[in-house]
Amino acid sequence: MAVLGLQGVRGGVGTTSITAALGWALHVLGESVLVIDACPDNLLRLSFNVDFDREEGWARAMLDNRDWREGGMRYTSSLDILPFGRLTAAEWENTHVLHDALDQLIPVWQTLQSQQRYNWVLVDLPHGVSPLTRQFLDHCDHTLVVVKPDTNCHVRLHQQPLPVGARILVNDLRIGSQMQDDLFQVWLQSQRHLLPMVIHRDEAMVECLGSKQPLGEYRGDALAAEEILTLANWCLLHCATPRTPEGQSLQGQP
Amino acid sequence: MLNDEPKTQVDSTLGYTFQNDFLALSKAFSLPEIDYADISQREQLAAAIKRWPLLAELARFQ
């Protein structure tokens, strides 16, 4: 089981949509995937056709002293999702109550590791350095940081610490934008941890959330969907946990 | 110098907590590695940096 965290360098760079799309792409490549929403915004579920008014999720369950697994949902036979769950207005105002529940996350990881049900666990991380983010990062084997080629992200890359060892993924690259082209060229030459593929601006990426589907399911032939598939293959090459011929993960076996 | 030290008692546990937080943070996060070496020798990059003052300013930091 490989745990891959995805974090935006800030909000609004498309991290949640990319997490959903990557989960779908890995599933298309025959992998078993669990996608976890670690963001209190609780938006990832909407990419997997979950009803807006459904409250369940791992954090909701923990706050209510119920089993976190009750929040999980099956999207396909090899793609499961674990939404964050809905917070009340009072909980939003006092997010420290969440931090008290963080200790309960340890058994979640222990269960996932011991069961070895999934080849991949993708975690949609909130941006920033909150205790919640750090708790999840501790369990991530690899981290991708999503950036948009704009000056805001460029400045952040110069002043904002990123998770140690993180790779940088460029999303929403437009053709014919002087500013973006210049920034992208500068990044290509100066950022040592830039991933070798980029996700171009694609209307399908915008439309798929409106359609409540991950990108590749909504429109598999879209440019961005093919680029996400390339990213999924890169992940298989560079991040997958070695497996035995039977397809079982080596990790966690006696 | 010793004479310059504050006379009021400082809560040592506060400092300890802060240091622990800082250590935990620096273990989990670090600034990205940025390498601007040879940037001036590449025509396209030089043009980009000439065009945008913000890029020129940031390229001076490594």
Per-block average pLDDT, block size 10, for chain A (254 residues)?
A: 97 98 98 97 97 95 91 97 94 79 84 94 95 91 98 96 95 95 92 95 97 98 98 96 61 43
Contacts of A155 in chain B (CB under 8 A): 54, 58
Rounded to an integer, the average pLDDT of B36-57 is: 82
Q: Is the confidence at residue B28, as pLDDT, over 90?
A: no
Residue A181 CB-density burial (10 A; 0-12 exposed, 13-18 middle, 19+ buried): middle
Pairing of strands A73-76, A79-82: antiparallel
Percent of residues, chain A, with pLDDT higher than 90: 82
| B45 has pLDDT over 90 | no
Give me chain B's average pLDDT, please.
Answer: 69
CB A151 within 8 A of CB A158: no
Specify burial of residue A58 (Cβ count, 10 A radius: 0-12, 13-18, 19+).
buried
pLDDT at A214: 98
CA gyration radius, chain B: 22
Element (H, E) at A80: strand A79-82
Listing DSSP states for A10-24 in one string gives: STTSSHHHHHHHHHH
Res B34 pLDDT > 50: yes
Residue B23: pLDDT band (50, 70, 90) is low
| Residue A149, CA distances (Å) to A127, A179, A198, A222, A242 in order | 17, 8, 10, 20, 34
Which of A163, A185, A190 lies at the smallest CB-CB distance from B34? A190
pLDDT for residue B24: 64
Rounded to the nearest angstrom, the minimum Cα separation between A78 and chain B is 31
Helix (H, G, I), strand (E, B) or coil at B14: helix
CB contact under 8 A, A166 and B32: yes
pLDDT on residue A244: 61
Neighbours of A245 (CB within 10 A): 5
Distance of alpha carbon A183 from the chain centroid:
24
Per-residue pLDDT at B41: 60
Instruction: Give yes or no for A153 touching B (CB within 8 A).
Output: no
- Closest partner residue to A163 (CB to CB) among B28, B34, B35 is B28
Lowest-confidence region among A133-137, B17-21, B28-32, B42-46: B17-21
Closest CA to A99 of A19, A40, A16, A145: A40
Condensed to tens digits (0 to 9), the pLDDT of residues A155-210 reads 999 999 999 999 999 999 999 999 999 999 999 988 999 999 999 999 999 999 99
| Cβ separation A191–B34 shorter than 8 A | yes
* ipTM for the assembly: 0.79
pLDDT attached to residue A99: 77
The whole-model pTM stands at 0.86
